[in-house]
A and B are shown apart, each in its own frame.
Chain A
Amino acid sequence: MTDLPLELIFVVLSRLPVKSVLRFRCTCKLWRSLIDSSHFISFHLRNSLETNSNNLLIFRHDSDLHVVDFDTLDTAVEVVHPLMCYGNPLKVLGSCHGLICICNVAEDIALWNLSTHQHKIIALLPVERRPESDTSLFAARGYGFGYDSFSDDYKLLRISCFVDLHTRSFESLVKIYSLRTNSWKSIQRMPYALCARTMGVFVGGALHWVVTRKLELDSPDLIIAFDLKHENFKEVPLPEELGNENNFQMKVALLGQSLCMLANYQHTRVDFWVMKEYGHRETWCNLFILNQSPELGSLKSVKPLAYSRDGNKVFLELDHKKLYWFDLKNKATSFIQIPRMPSLIDGTICVGSLVPPALESKIDKHQQELEAKKEREAFLSEGFKLVL
């Protein structure tokens, strides 16, 4: 009969779902301080990401959010989010490390961890208006949310794209919010126009969108990456195999930990390309092809959400209302019905984590680590000995 050393308790706890970990905060003071430590929070997150576990599927339906445990796909549960919606739709601007960035019609933006129910309202940023707004103007806004490991900071990017339909010119203004400084700042303009108001895809320390250089019909689309560390834009080279082909509609998505590019050929066929090693053009590979079929219908809107835990299947959302597994081995699709799922869905995958929507200052962190170390040593000296 032996007790487990604290080091091993730490490792075992880090493999538990967020729900269980939060419950076990009530065990004793030592466990609570262990679970609350930033070291544990990042260890738990890393473990979830590496083992592709603890994933949550979030469906937005008008102003409501519904959550499903992706590991079990049992029942959709409505969750209470921190924003007032006044009957208008809620927008999901992005998600990273268990933090979801949401926005209401009044442009209030909240950073929210739905597992711990902690949230933070982000400082309001007035919406830009171009001064000479006398001509026919059309504006599109795109957001993206991600993590900059270099400065240990979460950042939200807003691209406001103003299009003049008469002269076919555009202007893309860019603002960036840093959680560490809790403020917005303007950065260089983006020399591209957004092709859709989709959320930026966070992969490899950068946010990605599909853009165009010129507002001409024959101007090809391309993928742009915004590097969160250097805060600049660069183009992502497309798979060499595509050559100059541009008879498809392009979309970007996150699949697993990789950047995924969807090439949609007239809604009849969609090629899923995955960049296996981020930043290396030669690692683009055609993962699979989805063809139109009587069961699937027209492939107007297709979105990959995640790999299955064993990596053999891909979870797909079709036309914002149907969910399928695509088996990579036998190329078969199977329809998935989740009890109590809303009829119209806008799915996002998000890892369940303990990450708080706030950053502690570096001094606090150091102080906390010292205290945690003291507490641990006191505990170990009380009669715990590692058998070695």
Chain B
Amino acid sequence: MSSSVEAITVLSSDGDEFKITVSAAKLSKPLNWMLEDVCFSDDCDEVPTIEVNSKTLVKVIEYCEKHAPRANSGASDSDAEELKKWDIEFMKMDVKDILFHILMAANYLHMEGLYDLACQTAADLMKGMTVSQIRKIFHIKNDFSSEEQEQLRRQHPGCSFD
């Protein structure tokens, strides 16, 4: 790879082009491998596709660009505090609509920090939900027989099966 390259271009699964700086791309292992490979050399015209939709990829790149300076140089305590606050703001999003997509993208792109953050955010959102709310979000059908429901009701008083 030529050392003059500072940003790379990738395609989302919807076919849109995105630019991501090299230092930010290094937060993802697969992107890092691509960087080390020939994918982004000057004489290569082909733009690699990332199997993540545009809406999600925008957020993933936003996260990478924010976290890249710290990941590359280390940071003071106050920076870490600031970043933590930024993460909380960043994660204020709809579970179904985007959070699950980000979680899958972080998993696919091997981004440990984002994966951890998305998992914890999802868990924090889910912990107070009722069973019916969970079924709705995960498109789950209640497949318990009436006897099993009776048994579960005894084990977990106050659970609804609607």
Binding site for B on A (CB under 8 A): 1-5, 8-9, 11-13, 15-17, 20, 22-29, 31, 387-388
Contacts and interface: CB of A to CB of B under 8 A. Distances in A.
Contact of B122 (A12, A23, A24): A12
Contacts of A28: 135, 140-144
A1 B128 CA distance: 22
B138 A387 contact: no
Contact of A15 (B108, B119, B144): B119
B39 interface: no
A8 B107 contact: yes
Nearest to B131: A26
Contacts of B58: none
> What size tier do the contact residues of chain B reach?
20 to 34
B158 to A, nearest CB: 9
B108 A17 contact: no
A26 B108 contact: no
B93 to A, nearest CB: 14
A2 B140 CA distance: 13
Given A17-B127, A27-B135, A4 B103 contact: yes
A3 B142 CA distance: 16
Nearest to B145: A29
B123 to A, nearest CB: 4
Interface in B98-148: 100-101, 103-104, 107-108, 119-120, 122-123, 126-131, 134-135, 138-144
Nearest to A21: B127
B123 A15 contact: yes
A27 B126 contact: no
Contact of B126 (A2, A3, A16, A388): A16
Given A15-B123, A28-B143, A388 B51 contact: yes
A24 B127 CA distance: 9
Contacts of B139: 3
Nearest to A19: B127
B152 interface: yes
A23 B156 contact: yes
A31 B140 contact: yes
A2 B97 CA distance: 8
B159 interface: yes
A387 B108 contact: yes
Contact of B131 (A1, A5, A24): A24
Nearest to A388: B108
A384 to B, nearest CB: 11
Contact of A2 (B100, B134, B141, B142): B100
Contact of B134 (A3, A15, A24): A24
